[in-house]
Structure 1
Amino acid sequence: MSEPSRFDRGHTDDLMTFLAASPSPYHAVANTAERLEKAGFRQVAETDAWDGSSGGKYVIRGGAIVAWYVPEGAAPHTPFRIIGAHTDSPNLRVKPLPDSGAYGWRQVAVEIYGGPLLNSWLDRDLGLAGRLTLRDGSHRLVNIDRPLLRVPQLAIHLDRTVSSEGLKLDKQRHLQPIWGLGNDVRDGDLIAFLEEESGLAAGEVTGWDLMVHSVEPPAYLGRDRELLAAPRMDNLLSVHAATAALTAVSTGDLPYIPVLAAFDHEENGSQSDTGADGPLLGGVLERSVFARGGSYEDKARAFAGTVCLSSDTGHAVHPNYAERHDPTHHPRVNGGPILKVNVNNRYATDGSGRAVFAAASEKADVPFQSFVSNNAMPCGTTIGPITAARHGIRTVDIGVAILSMHSARELCGADDPFLLANVLVAFLEG
């Protein structure tokens, strides 16, 4: 078997392009599909009968995508090697009745999605993106990628306690962005604006899934440009790396069937038909086995030999808050991917999983770091434990260490994205 493909800083340049073009899960899925198509993958519909042919295939469902490559001659019981990630990020999402305002200001009514750092959305130029559902049931992506909205912070002169007591934001009252002036707020203004921007007829849009995003583009940062500042790295960084790895290995004979599973709704619990706690991944894997003439016994054998890397961002040690981290585990940016461990199963990694990841890192000649939470701090979680429990698949939690997680703009090392991609290639090749 050939040595793993080697990604370099050009991979990070491409990540910046991907992040800028993916302001919503739906855009991330569309851009992932475009890259898969260029690599020879073809989309299959869940409503169609599937055949057992070899090659690359993918399924799209809303803001989620599952892609896999079947090598020539793969047996029905051939195990899978899965990279799991998610397409959603914490943000502000438009309510069903979006038009509001007061005192001469036009505003957009939004709801808090996931657990964003609320202050990071203040005084920032925001665009609007997502999916429009048309009267005939079809969908249209929309992306107003220019300064359209703003959540203005209250001047310090009107809040003298902010310096001594800190910023306190009411999620209902203080996060509603402005987008214009006028006393006559009419129901349908925002959707009519989006119909016009999208070249649609008035009244053609009957449903929407819309969210705001920062229009500031990704950028290298630091004296030597060794850092990357960008939105939505949690977790499009992993989606991008997994896509690059899958397309790199999907060209020949492999002992496993490599899979990319990028789910939606991780940031609010994964319980949806497009989330990791839904049936999407299991259905795709089962149908792949059965399409190749397999039985339930073949499926059980395939799943028993399957391994999933749940790839999500983690916490780099923060120089201003080092006491919040475990005193003996200080992941650093540009130090390589992190292996995430929690003995209470907030992460799915165990010793056996560590060995799998260590082998892939060694093969790729990439260092890795270990992450555990401070015992006095609650630990976050990922799709990893959900995948392990729902499908009975050995799962390992990994990722890239970043700062400002869940901010409108996050920070990572500029080398870590391609280091992660190299390890993912080695893992998929087996």
Structure 2
Amino acid sequence: MNNLAIKNLCTYIDAAPSPYHAIDASCAMLDSAKAIRLDEHNSWKLEPNTLYYIARKPAGLIAFRTGSEPGSGFLLAGAHNDVPALKIRLEKKMIQRGMERLAVEVYGGPILATWLDRPLAVAGIVMLKTDQGITERLFNSVKPVAIIPNLAIHLNRDVNKGFEYLPHQTLLPLVAETEKDGDSWVTRYLARELECKETDILASDLMLYDADRAFIFGPDDEFLSSPRIDNLEGCHAILEALCTAHAVKQKQVAVLFNAEEIGSRTREGADSLFLRDILERI
């Protein structure tokens, strides 16, 4: 196993707890490879055998290397950067027996039982009101801030017999001890971490993620264990291949789509015009 390549993959996955962070990490990879960033809204003048990329908000990316012979076609590879998750409902506060819990919505197709009894962190984007207008901020708590506790087995004897976890009843992350009314813990926490007023937080797209980091194990380091490996390993492999490849006569294209877990019908999803429009311009 190429340990350097696998360590780079682990670093990429750890840096990408949300689709927005995945695009940020992907742009960093491309910048390191001296790729030129393009703006969809501007006209382009492309040079042969040159690496370019376009990031479409909120979380899509297309990178390409022009070829040496016009009209020679495309070599294309794609992946998706979103993963199954529990998304936080910022507007809803839940207090049960002096404990504050988060209201969540299931995103995609997670294995629900794997979310219990493990450290959960929070990541995503937050829209803030500033003196310059509305700005978008990436957010990653890094450290665990929540947990979804299982009941003790003597309170749930069927837990090992195929117990069904109902998201709005049994998947409510525990975050704080409180009896207070008012804004939710998430709003207060975001305001503190982002150094802003609670009233400046206009909207957010936040998700819980497994705070455990990717790691290599086995007597010969032959195994890799990581959260979000589907499909971030695909994203990293495609970008790594593009960044290290030599120019050929065809145009080489790497595309990272968002929203595969929910049908791909966002403006940067596989069912959008994103790829078609960029290929036409190339």
Q: Secondary structure at the match of 1:37?
A: helix
Distance apart, 1:22 and its partner CA: 0.7
The CA distance in 2 between the partners of 1:213 and 1:14, in whole Å, is: 20
Question: Any stretches of 5+ residues in structure 2 without a counterpart?
Answer: none
Q: Which residue of 2 aligns with 1:174?
A: 170
2:229 to 233, 248, 253: 233
The CA distance in 2 between the partners of 1:205 and 1:283, in whole Å, is: 34
Query: What TM-score, normalized to structure 2?
Result: 0.93
Query: Are the counterparts in 2 of residues 99 and 190 from structure 1 also a CA contact under 8 Å?
Result: no
Q: Secondary structure at the match of 1:81?
A: strand
Q: Which residue of 1 aligns with 2:41?
A: 47
1:221-370 equivalences under 5 Å are 221-249=217-245, 251-252=246-247, 254-288=248-282
Query: What TM-score, normalized to structure 1?
Result: 0.62
State the one-letter code of the partner of 2:155: L
2:29 to 17, 35, 45: 35
Question: Any stretches of 5+ residues in structure 1 without a counterpart?
Answer: 1-6, 289-430
Distance apart, 1:21 and its partner CA: 0.9
Distance apart, 1:269 and its partner CA: 1.2
1:88-99 equivalences under 5 Å are 88-99=82-93
Q: Which residue of 1 aligns with 2:143?
A: 146
2:53 to 52, 58, 79: 58
Residue 114 of structure 2 is aligned to residue 120 of structure 1: yes
The CA distance in 2 between the partners of 1:157 and 1:79, in whole Å, is: 64
Deviations 1:135-185 (A, max 9, x none): 23321101001120001111111112334x322211211111010101114
State the one-letter code of the partner of 2:94: S
Query: Are the counterparts in 1 of residues 90 and 184 from structure 2 also a CA contact under 8 Å?
Result: no
The CA distance in 1 between the partners of 2:151 and 2:113, in whole Å, is: 12
| Structure 1 ranges of 4+ moved more than 4 A | none
Q: Which residue of 2 aligns with 1:108?
A: 102
Query: Are the counterparts in 2 of residues 98 and 110 from structure 1 also a CA contact under 8 Å?
Result: no
Residue 79 of structure 2 is aligned to residue 82 of structure 1: no
State the one-letter code of the partner of 1:66: I
The CA distance in 1 between the partners of 2:163 and 2:3, in whole Å, is: 38
Instruction: State which drifts further: 153-162 or 257-266.
Output: 153-162
State the number of aligned residues.
277
Q: Higher Cα Rg: structure 1 or 2?
A: 1
Query: Are the counterparts in 2 of residues 263 and 274 from structure 1 also a CA contact under 8 Å?
Result: yes
Distance 1:58 1:231, change over 3 A: same
Distance apart, 1:52 and its partner CA: 3.0
Distance apart, 1:217 and its partner CA: 1.1
Distance apart, 1:98 and its partner CA: 4.1
Distance apart, 1:187 and its partner CA: 2.5
Deviations 1:219-260 (A, max 9, x none): 1223333111101110000101111100011x54x1211111
Residue 156 of structure 2 is aligned to residue 159 of structure 1: yes
Distance 1:209 1:282, change over 3 A: same
Distance 1:225 1:122, change over 3 A: same
1:134 to 124, 128, 138: 128
Distance 1:192 1:45, change over 3 A: farther
Q: Among all aligned residue pairs of Structure 1 and Structure 2, give the percentage whose two residues are the same amino acid.
A: 31
